[in-house]
Structure 1
Amino acid sequence: MNEIELTFVKPFYRQMMGLNARRWADELWPDLTTAGRRVTGSDVSWMLRTGHWRPVVMGAWFSLAVPAESITDDLLSAMAESRGSLTAGPLATAATLVAGRNAVTAMADYLAFVFGLGRRDGSQHVVAAAMEYLGADPVVDPGDDGRRQFRVLHDVAIRLREAFRPT
């Protein structure tokens, strides 16, 4: 395990994967925001490019702490290449704030992959809700539950982005 994983991934990934941030973000808040003020764009890019779900989850959340231009391409690639519910929700949520409407294609690529495999793990509804939030027409109806889950994650992401800013 390298320094990035020890500092920015291991302490947080279990509580921030999938939809878990809805329950755990407040408990982690002091440590998470301190880490977010120390993370660099290069750290976040590394996390997003590893292809391993644990760093990708935290790369999504920490993408809110660094200048968008330094990580947008890596974030969108990670979104398009996500392989399931552990990373898709955090990636889609962060992408709405970091990349805005430019994230729609990556989210659509994710949905095409999920539907191509016939996989239904629930993440498709959260990603569809993120697309809908951005004004796109997703290939699947997010449903009320998907919209609610996305809104809660999105609220966490907005709060994190604010908290990551230097005081």
Structure 2
Amino acid sequence: MSTSSSEAGYTREQLRLFRRLVRPFYLRMGHVQAPTEFDPRAVRRYSRRLVRAGSKVTAKQVGLMLRGGGWREMTMGAWFALAVPADQVRAVVLEAWGVVVPDAAGPLATASVLVVGPDAIPAMRSFVARPGARDDLGTADYVSAAIVHLGGSPPSAPNPLMVASFEDSLSIAAELRSDFLARRRTRRIWTMGS
């Protein structure tokens, strides 16, 4: 089996996880946190497949993705954190702010609002204040919009375009979380009955 250079250095378990939960989804899900010139509804086209995959995701797998270091893994770790009961992933989502790369900060901010809540504000403020958090995609503004949504004060006021993008993404994330958890409940009931 040959591996690409982007897969070098991964354990077998991480490679399986990457191939099953990251590679099929990261490009599409990365656009959900992008500025509104990208279609934030794109995730709905892929949600059935994403929800099916999320119904089997464990807290350990979410942790592996969030600690993976690459933006692809962190992006999907953030989204799949919505598929697991919040109490099982809250700590790892919060810890991810210490190592998050700007390309994954948008999905992490969105997930943090739903999974961690206001306790994520200090970590998000720290990210926004970091050198390199400001990029051409408006990541710092997007994270600042999440801070404002949670009732906090970001280091600088977010661009209104990023506020709209964040609100769109949060709406999608809330729907996904509901779908993930409903699928998980249905799956659990079905497996208990067999």
User: TM-score, normalized by length of structure 2?
Assistant: 0.79
**Larger mean Cα displacement after TM superposition, 157-166 or 74-83:** 74-83
Shift of 1:127: 0.4
Per-residue Cα deviation, 1:60-89 (whole angstroms, up to 9, x for no partner): 0000011222222221122232221x2111
- Structure 2 counterpart of 1:147, from 149, 160, 163: 163
Query: In structure 1, how many angstroms separate the alpha carbons of the residues matched to 2:80 and 2:148?
Result: 23
2:177 equivalent to 1:164:
no
- Tell me: CA distance 1:11–1:109, structure 2 relative to 1, closer, same or farther (3 Å): same
2:113 equivalent to 1:101:
no
2:92 match: 74
Paired residues of 1:129 and 1:150 also in contact (CA < 8 A) = yes
- Structure 1 counterpart of 2:40, from 12, 18, 22: 22
Name the count of aligned residue pairs.
Answer: 164
SS of 1:80's equivalent in the other structure is coil
- Tell me: CA distance 1:151–1:141, structure 2 relative to 1, closer, same or farther (3 Å): same
Structure showing the higher helix proportion among its residues: 1
Runs of 4+ residues over 4 Å off in structure 1: none
Paired residues of 2:128 and 2:134 also in contact (CA < 8 A) = no
- Structure 2 counterpart of 1:120, from 135, 140, 148: 135
Q: Which has the larger radius of gyration?
A: 2
Query: In structure 2, how many angstroms separate the alpha carbons of the residues matched to 1:79 and 1:155?
Result: 22
Query: In structure 2, how many angstroms separate the alpha carbons of the residues matched to 1:63 and 1:21?
Result: 22
Paired residues of 1:89 and 1:127 also in contact (CA < 8 A) = yes
CA RMSD of aligned residues (A): 1.6
2:3 match: none
Unmatched runs of 5 consecutive residues or more in structure 2? 1-6, 8-14, 187-194
- Tell me: CA distance 1:118–1:31, structure 2 relative to 1, closer, same or farther (3 Å): closer
Paired residues of 2:109 and 2:146 also in contact (CA < 8 A) = yes
